[in-house]
Structure 1
């Protein structure tokens, strides 16, 4: 993909449905009794992997544009698949399904693409084994593929070493089948879409700060799920609108779940001009239209409890830091090393090619804002968030920027380049 420098960004955009909520709508709809309709579903590769896996587990799922109709069979209604379930590039599908499948009355196997097979799965294997699950995989379950022998599960209290919605959700979903109370305690609160959606489907959890407890679930009830726009996808326009002179963008229908709005908090701390319009609640999730105008950004320090609330947005925050006054420090973000790519190393290497003053640290990076980047040939490493972040950087670079493997955006935002082009002048 060739990105050319622009003069300004102007207009409105509706970003695709939230990836996390789309996944969970299919999963809980499959486990509920009756027909669930997921509206404004994100038809990107990761979420389609979830649909594919549940179809192989015997669930009838029909797609009608951005509406998905799920014929749920209840918590015990899944059936043994004929082949290994392939999640593609979706860590959410792999980790959350592992919790569900551990409690079934049959055996399954899960695998994924080359990226998935390098990502750490022991973070879910360990707690699920404590619950009585039988999981085996490469290097004793550290990596995919994973073989799961369905078992009766027992409840546990698990103190997670990482703040991860995928880890928390895997345990909580397994806990629906376990006897008694299953509790997860996190070092920092991670995104809470699973908790909100379980309550929406009729099974509220007990939440006390960083501690979440579920009890045995007898039944989930089908619902209409309206998926808001994904704030992780909106992030690229929030940053682009902030750093491009004379710009104003309205991003419609964006989920503003407090566990996901770290990007908004950080950009506002940097001096971004962002307003919330038309705030409302949809299917248990807070939603708003976001208006962003160009502004002069200043550096900040990003770390601690905010990191789980913006972990996916750090690559594009690094781009914003290139155009901020002063030195921006990103720390406590070692989790970036085990995403679709090592996002610390890839952000540093590719922005450096564009002339950025960026230094890699053990758990983050330090970026000195110069207000200048040059066009270059850069690599996405098949990582959708790296590709989109580099596209934003290219808008303000001097000269053309070429992004290799740019089609990785299909993982979460297939029409990203088209939407970006519509706003450019």
Structure 2
């Protein structure tokens, strides 16, 4: 029976991946382009915008806050920026669907507004922890409340004034960092965030592109409130998180090679490439250009004999969203792969450690969940049935497992794939994956 939706993937065993193609636009950058374009002065042009459910939730919320946005038309938007103090009260609670990024970033952006807002989402999002962002925002003077369990709905009331703080994050998190920087745009003085490890820096890069007073000094990022922000042109590169499924698929397939063009190569996001290369993957990277401060390039991948590794802790925050598909690579590798220091995977769209371990076990792979990671013993992968538990990244990761399995794999709970990768099935089919999608009985 499907979980969190009735969409089901069936992947026949074998096959290979080949061809040249481009994955959809980066989800993280798409969110930020809409948010910053909305509060900048003037018209912001965005190309390559991801028309997935999560990014569209951000776009719909900005429209509800009074921002005029044309598009998307083939990934193109025109945002009529209203300035930092031009947002208007929404007529109802902002429904952010399944998007944790939207909820956490909006909590910071709206903390400094002169009106009240409530943030809600789907059943999955309403279970995800929010205190790690609301507590430091409260230290800045924000009037923001969670439910008793520390989850959404988030209720934000107008604050008398936000004040800049110097905040040391206990755990690296780009979403928490970004929420504090966005709130810092409305705060008195300077807001400084210190990270214990590097996390993705799209917010800092885009703030600079829009002319905000932001400074980066090693693990410290700071922003000054009341600095003017001007509209900018944003070209969104292909999402490396989406490319990761094909990097792993091409690595474990029996033959062929693929080339992925115009992929974002932000160094805070390329942990998946570094990890796969340490496992023996044959990934060639050709840097092409830089768009709005974001490096872009072309990736070519060929099949390789992978080896199990102990994943270096410094790479964990640089690949946090890609671990479901990295676990598939580990299952196909010779030897043992161990991940530690990744407790954040427990509070994503699902408990990704538990759900991936259960699915791998169902396919005949020894997978031991750990409190903060997993231990996977590579071996022969069999066909079988797995549950994605409504988690888009888990559904797509197990889809690629069909390239190495000795039988068909059925994946239930795949309806949420469109949140980050609309057209995944069609693109995968075109590349050679023997996949089909169908509605399953509820």
Calculate the TM-score normalised by the size of structure 2.
0.94
- Residue 345 (str. 1) matches residue 343 (str. 2): no
Aligned residues: 423
Q: Pick from 253, 262, 276: which aligns with 2:271?
A: 262
- Residue 292 (str. 1) matches residue 301 (str. 2): yes
Q: Report what 2:285 is aligned to.
A: 276
Query: How far 1:7 sits from its partner (Å)?
Result: 3.0
Q: Which runs of 5+ in 2 are unaligned?
A: 1-8, 434-442
Query: How far 1:277 sits from its partner (Å)?
Result: 2.1
- Residue 96 (str. 1) matches residue 83 (str. 2): no
Q: Is the 8 A contact 1:195 1:204 kept in 2?
A: no
Q: Provide the C-alpha distance between the structure 1 equivalents of 2:312 and 2:89, rounded to a whole number of angstroms.
A: 43
Q: Is the 8 A contact 1:38 1:225 kept in 2?
A: yes
- Residue 157 (str. 1) matches residue 166 (str. 2): yes
Q: Pick from 13, 29, 32: which aligns with 1:21?
A: 29
Q: Provide the C-alpha distance between the structure 2 equivalents of 1:247 and 1:316, rounded to a whole number of angstroms.
A: 19
Q: What's the Cα RMSD here?
A: 1.1
- Residue 59 (str. 1) matches residue 59 (str. 2): no
Q: Provide the C-alpha distance between the structure 2 equivalents of 1:402 and 1:301, rounded to a whole number of angstroms.
A: 30
Q: Report what 1:406 is aligned to.
A: 414
Taking the TM superposition and a 5 Å limit, the aligned residue runs for 1:119-158 are 119-139=128-148, 142-151=150-159, 152-158=161-167
Higher relative contact order (CA 8 A, sep 6+): 2
Calculate the TM-score normalised by the size of structure 1.
0.98
Q: Larger deviation: 58-67 or 333-342?
A: 58-67
Query: How far 1:245 sits from its partner (Å)?
Result: 2.0
Q: Pick from 3, 7, 10: which aligns with 2:15?
A: 7
Query: How far 1:116 sits from its partner (Å)?
Result: 1.0
1:354-408 CA-to-partner distances (Å, cap 9, x unmatched) read: 11111111111101111x2111111111100000001011222111111112222
- Residue 215 (str. 1) matches residue 221 (str. 2): no
Q: Report what 1:30 is aligned to.
A: 38
Q: Report what 2:321 is aligned to.
A: 312
SS at match of 2:402: helix
Q: Is the 8 A contact 2:212 2:227 kept in 1?
A: no
Q: Provide the C-alpha distance between the structure 2 equivalents of 1:56 and 1:313, rounded to a whole number of angstroms.
A: 32
Q: Report what 1:386 is aligned to.
A: 394
1:176-209 CA-to-partner distances (Å, cap 9, x unmatched) read: 1111110111111110000000000011421111
SS at match of 1:138: coil
Q: Which 4+ stretches in 1 moved above 3 angstroms?
A: none
Q: Which runs of 5+ in 1 are unaligned?
A: none
- Residue 228 (str. 1) matches residue 247 (str. 2): no
- Residue 396 (str. 1) matches residue 390 (str. 2): no
Q: Provide the C-alpha distance between the structure 1 equivalents of 2:228 and 2:274, rounded to a whole number of angstroms.
A: 38
Query: How far 1:10 sits from its partner (Å)?
Result: 1.0
Q: Report what 2:378 is aligned to.
A: 369
